[in-house]
Structure 1
Amino acid sequence: MPIPDEAAASAAHSVRHLFSRRSLHVPGTRLGAIALPAPIGRRHHWHYWWQAHFLDCLLDEHLRDPAGNALSEARKLARGIWLRNGGRWLNSYYDDMAWLALTLQRLDAMEGRRRPRRRVRVLGDALRSAHTDELGGGIFWNTTRDYKNTATTAPAALFFARAGDFGRAQELLDWLRTRVHDPATGLYLDGVKADGSAGGVVDRRVYTYNQGTVLGALVAVGGRENLEHAADLVDAVSRSTADDDGALPLGSSGDGGLFAGILGRYLALAVSTPGIGARAAATGRSLLATTAERLWTGRMQAGPGVFLFPPRQEGPVSLSSQLQAWTMLEAEQACR
């Protein structure tokens, strides 16, 4: 079944209507409730990095519909994140900060700013501080500084590439390729854990979203070798992660609810990049279309004109899963 042109707009309206709230009840702010029904009270974890992806979705919406109010809502969400985080931008996890740095960097660009706002510079400095020679390079996962992983290093590489620091971005990509790329599958593993040795030990877990951020960094830095590797990575994703129908696996809750959407965003970026190659572009578009169709055909009415998207969940519906659907539907439409 063809996905209608209004699918992304419907997902945007649904998530905003069902999940968007004032941050701590303060006017002029927004924050995404982490579940529907929303938990009561502040004792519940608020998921800093989910909010960064909510902000990214609003920016995707603005690109699709510049006449709407998504950019205004994005500004309110940025204020809400800052307020809920105690009036600061930093936290203890460099991957969280990389996600927020990326989307605030996008917001600056959409506002036409010639230099980054202080919040982007603060987050960028934090990422630079975590890029050390220990374990051969890469960026630490958190302030404990005993693990360097793809989940932090790849989005940071993309951030630095977009900031014009292509040397640092390439250095991070080289570390990823040397330390956590699995030639047998073509995919990227999770990271390297300090164990007292100079090289550490590789954590061989594989997550879909890590493939997406590596793709994003590869095409942002560019060059023949990076683009060829990006094309190979698209093929590896299709071969090793898609199901028999050619759809990406969808997470239902928790952090994993975001993973397929993140991969979808950067697949769309990759297949729209000149030089990626016709085969990889066709493969990526097929993955996006098949996954988006599954989300759209499986939607459930949650009220007049609003929907919840699969996978079906018992109990409260996670914000992460609905951002996943919104991101994927925006990505599919963007690269048609």
Structure 2
Amino acid sequence: MSAVPTRRRVRAVLVGLVAMVIGLAPAAAAHAQAVSSEAADGPTAVARARVAADVLMSSYDPNKAWFPSSWWNSAVALQTIGDYMQRTDDRRYLPQLDNTFQKDQGKFPAGELSGDELWGNFTSRAIDDSEWWGLTWIQAYDVTGDAKYLRMAAKIAEFTNGYWDNTCGGGVWWNAERTYKNAVTNGLYIRLTAELHNRMPGDKRWLARSQAAWDWFAGSGMINSSGLVEDGVNDDCQSNGQTVWSYNQGLAVGGALELWRATGDPKLLSTARRLADAAIDGGLTTDGVLTEACDTLDRTCDDNAKQFKGIFLRYLMDLADTTHADKYKTFVTRQAETIWAQDHDAADRLGTRWAGGTSTDHPNVFDWRTQASALSALIAAVPVPAPKRSLTANTSPAQPVVMPADDGSTKLTVNVGVSVTGPASQPVTAKVTVRAPDGWTVSPTTGTVVLRPRGSAHPASGTFPVQVTVPATAEDGHHDVSATVTADSGLSFSTRSEVTVAHKIDFDTGTAAEMPWLWDADGSQSNGVQNRFADGNHYFVYRFPFSADTATARATLTIDNEYVVEASSDGEHWTTVSKEARRVTDGSNKADQVIDLTAYLGPDKATYLRVSDSFPEDGWGGRVYHVTAATTK
């Protein structure tokens, strides 16, 4: 039986169930959905999600078919892209989903795609990691209708079931060593098995397992008296009272909700709402914004916690869509608006602290994990069904650097990218208006881009280039060149290029101050404050656009581990200028490396430095902490 008719039948049943549970007649429930779909900010919500999804997918490694250096995080990021495609009907990233499915379902040694050995079919000793992949492939099945994804999810769930036993009366173990039973592994199992049941007509086995898992979880004591989900149980089979993380709360909401779909038991829907209310009424929020325990200005979230809030929003979105409750829709909107206003930079990157905020020792972090997490909030704000017409804009470069000469202005080209969706064969004329700071000039200031939409699946795109002239008197700091794009039917979207004017180079890596200088991040990573590293065949490149009157230049990199540093005058032809020839993996060679860049000053005085791995086979590549550069004129 094909997937689509089955899912339509499930949805039809659910509309009636929702109407009965929340006290609405079917017509009233339909009206509530219609009102939501006509919200004035619908096209803007689609546009924001699109630009954020594009930024996320720019970090996808097509060769290894994952997001570098994180196995379970990659599963969640791809599931989020599946959510995005299902919500908006943008289908551009279906090939990447299938690329990962084809390339990564085999066996891999430890360190190849994860710290753990991968046992095939996306499984490993980390049972929860395996389950994340199961949910990802169910989402791929929902988007495509291709049964191979559902079969893979069933294999993963069967593997997971092998780690259920009667210790503590039931539950799935967190790892193959059977050392811990916790909320995340069992929340995942409830949702995974219930999703399988709801997509397999006539199933009884997965439903029985899901019900048993919920009964055990609900009675485990991990849901405390405040309705918040604690981390796991201790050796005495009592809740350990450890940190309430938003993703555990979200999975509990999602598990109860999906099992309600399977059974129609109104107590499950009531529980899902109670758990959601406990989180958003203050249990996991600060001033109405979802906040992780590690989001405070005196802490830094690790690579796992960076992605937790998005998982909560994924399942709160499901609850909002199901109940149409204003409370949940309002909360979703608040998260999306706050992220866009306070946690969103000129390059359309989204950070880990949704309310913004940074500190010297614990800055707000922007990477693909934080991008995927915040994207879930933007997706949740997209109405159902999504508007067919939408308009987006971005700038390239988004964060250029200008190092002015002592006299004379500096020119740079900024490209305003425009993309639209809408009915095919109906041209859209987008008007572009660009503004620069006082004393700067931009040419042209207005113009149009004519595009022919092809529906929602593949947005049509075009570019409007402008030349910006930065005066020699421009003060050091960040200056916005803003662009607003408008079209018929009231469509509008704003973007900006944040131009950094600087007379010196001095920044810590892994911080916002690094980003304007980072010309090509490739597959490099930053796993904490003040570091950036590139393992294997990955690298990262800094571009230093020295002023036109520069005579000599040198850079100092604080660097360690197995590094290669290369210099270039054009970003294409490279010369090795420093290299660690020993196998150093413990940072014991950390030192300042001074590099003379004079020979690599290009015709425009720009110089490029590339850092990579001198022993790519062992995965301990160059790690940079601090960068400075000095010139003479």
TM-score, length-normalised on structure 1? Answer: 0.82
Larger RCO: 1 or 2 (CA < 8 Å, sep 6+):
1
Of 283, 292, 317, 1:268 maps to 317
2:243 aligned with 1:203: no
2-structure distance, mates of 1:232, 1:210: 14
The 1:243–1:188 alpha-carbon spacing in structure 2 relative to 1, beyond 3 Å, is closer
2:153 aligned with 1:130: no
5+ unaligned residues in a row in structure 1: which ranges?
25-29, 34-45
Deviates more, 1:119-128 or 1:7-16: 119-128
Q: Residue in 2 aligned with 1:94?
A: 127
2:336 aligned with 1:287: no
2-structure distance, mates of 1:90, 1:135: 24
Deviates more, 1:261-270 or 1:164-173: 164-173
- Match of 2:105, SS state, is helix
CA contact (8 A) 1:241 1:248 kept: no
Q: Which amino acid aligns with 2:82?
A: L
How big is each residue's C-alpha offset from its partner over 1:235-265, in whole Å with a ceiling of 9 and x where there is no partner?
Answer: 1112243434211015554111111100000
How big is each residue's C-alpha offset from its partner over 1:44-87, in whole Å with a ceiling of 9 and x where there is no partner?
Answer: xx221101011102211221343531222211233354365468
5+ unaligned residues in a row in structure 2: which ranges?
1-40, 107-111, 198-205, 296-300, 386-633
Q: Residue in 2 aligned with 1:40?
A: none
Structural mapping, 1:86-235, within 5 Å:
88=120, 89-114=122-147, 118-164=151-197, 165-194=206-235, 199-205=236-242, 206-222=244-260, 223-235=265-277
1-structure distance, mates of 2:95, 2:381: 24
- Match of 1:180, SS state, is coil
1-structure distance, mates of 2:138, 2:218: 25
- Match of 1:82, SS state, is coil
Higher strand share: 2
How big is each residue's C-alpha offset from its partner over 1:113-143, in whole Å with a ceiling of 9 and x where there is no partner?
Answer: 4575553233112111011111111111001
The 1:243–1:153 alpha-carbon spacing in structure 2 relative to 1, beyond 3 Å, is closer
CA RMSD, Structure 1 to Structure 2 (Å): 2.6
Of 275, 280, 283, 1:238 maps to 280
1-structure distance, mates of 2:136, 2:212: 22
How big is each residue's C-alpha offset from its partner over 1:14-38, in whole Å with a ceiling of 9 and x where there is no partner?
Answer: 1112x122234xxxxx3213xxxxx
The 1:211–1:243 alpha-carbon spacing in structure 2 relative to 1, beyond 3 Å, is closer
1:211 Cα offset (Å) = 0.9
CA contact (8 A) 2:253 2:316 kept: yes
Q: Residue in 1 aligned with 2:622?
A: none
1:9 Cα offset (Å) = 0.8
Identity of aligned residues (%): 22
2:71 aligned with 1:48: yes
Q: Which amino acid aligns with 1:31?
A: W
1-structure distance, mates of 2:148, 2:326: 36
How big is each residue's C-alpha offset from its partner over 1:88-116, in whole Å with a ceiling of 9 and x where there is no partner?
Answer: 22111111111111111221233324575
2-structure distance, mates of 1:290, 1:188: 23
Q: Residue in 1 aligned with 2:63?
A: 23
1:229 Cα offset (Å) = 1.0
TM-score, length-normalised on structure 2? Answer: 0.45
The 1:106–1:264 alpha-carbon spacing in structure 2 relative to 1, beyond 3 Å, is same
The 1:116–1:10 alpha-carbon spacing in structure 2 relative to 1, beyond 3 Å, is closer
Q: Residue in 1 aligned with 2:94?
A: 71
2:45 aligned with 1:32: no
The 1:334–1:255 alpha-carbon spacing in structure 2 relative to 1, beyond 3 Å, is farther
Work out which of the two has the higher radius of gyration on C-alpha atoms and give 1 or 2: 2
